[in-house]
Amino acid sequence: MPNGNKYFVLNEKSMSIYNQPTYKKYIRIDSSKANVYEYRYNEEFLIDSLQMEVGDEFDCLGLADIYFKNVFGINSQIRFYHQTCVTTTGSFNYELAKDFGKVSSVITETNVYAIDFKFDLVYAKINGKEYGKLVDLNYVDNFPRIPTDFSLSQNTPNPFNPTTTIEYSVPSAEFVSLKIYDVLGREVATLINQSQKPGIYKTVWHATNFASGIYYYSLKTNNKIFSKKCCF
């Protein structure tokens, strides 16, 4: 590297809502200081230090806890790090497991949308030995996707007795309300009334204490309203 140091090269690919390509990660171990560094954006960043104890902080990195958990059937020591400085773009935390490196991480982005990205290690090949299950990295249909538009689906089942499920989509962080109205336009129930992150949501209306008949449910955001009819 331009800084004159040598690094281990790791090939990594994430399976998420985005189709991400395989990319290389550059890791250096400084045995004299018991430090582990990652090289990115033409800089070297400390990602682990065996000299750090719980509660220690260095350059926006804090060691929050040390514990054990099962990693590929092995009871591994975990060092849990978190971001200690405040930024306007988000925050992060991650787990480092002995002999495996980073096994999970959570990245929260707040600069555009309030989105949490969670990553877990599902497969690794170390010195020719394989751990976990190699999945098809081109198959992401089972992973949640961020919707591109607001939508309100027809409740199911319909007609129903006495419960029904309502699904809706939120493409950006919004204050969302989902309310039930009778045929006279009177509000009779509130199912959702809170800020929500982008995603696809489902909620259940329990209508046990309501009279049979026609009702309307309405999804309202900051600047959109969607309504549908249901039959109890």
**What value does the mean pLDDT take over residues 188-208?**
89
Q: How confident is the model at residue 3 (pLDDT cuts 50, 70, 90)?
A: confident
Question: In angstroms, rounded to a whole number, what is the distance separating the alpha carbons of residues 177 and 75?
Answer: 45
**What value does the mean pLDDT take over residues 183-191?**
94
Q: State which H helix or E strand residue 68 sits in.
A: strand 61-71
Question: In angstroms, rounded to a whole number, what is the distance separating the alpha carbons of residues 17 and 199?
Answer: 11
Domains of the chain, by residue range, sit at: 8-132, 151-231
Is residue 90 within 8 Å of 109, Cβ to Cβ? yes
Is residue 37 within 8 Å of 27, Cβ to Cβ? yes
Whether residue 145 has pLDDT greater than 60: no
| pLDDT for the residue 71 | 93
Question: In angstroms, rounded to a whole number, what is the distance separating the alpha carbons of residues 114 and 173?
Answer: 6
pLDDT tens-place string over residues 156-178: 999 998 989 999 988 888 899 99
Q: How confident is the model at residue 17 (pLDDT cuts 50, 70, 90)?
A: very low
Topology (CATH) of 151-231 = Immunoglobulin-like (2.60.40)
Whether residue 143 has pLDDT greater than 60: no
Q: How confident is the model at residue 14 (pLDDT cuts 50, 70, 90)?
A: low
Q: How confident is the model at residue 192 (pLDDT cuts 50, 70, 90)?
A: very high
The chain-wide mean pLDDT, for the chain, equals: 83
**What value does the mean pLDDT take over residues 131-136?**
75
C-alpha separations of 106 from 103, 211, 217, 220, 231 in Å: 11, 46, 35, 30, 42
| pLDDT for the residue 191 | 93
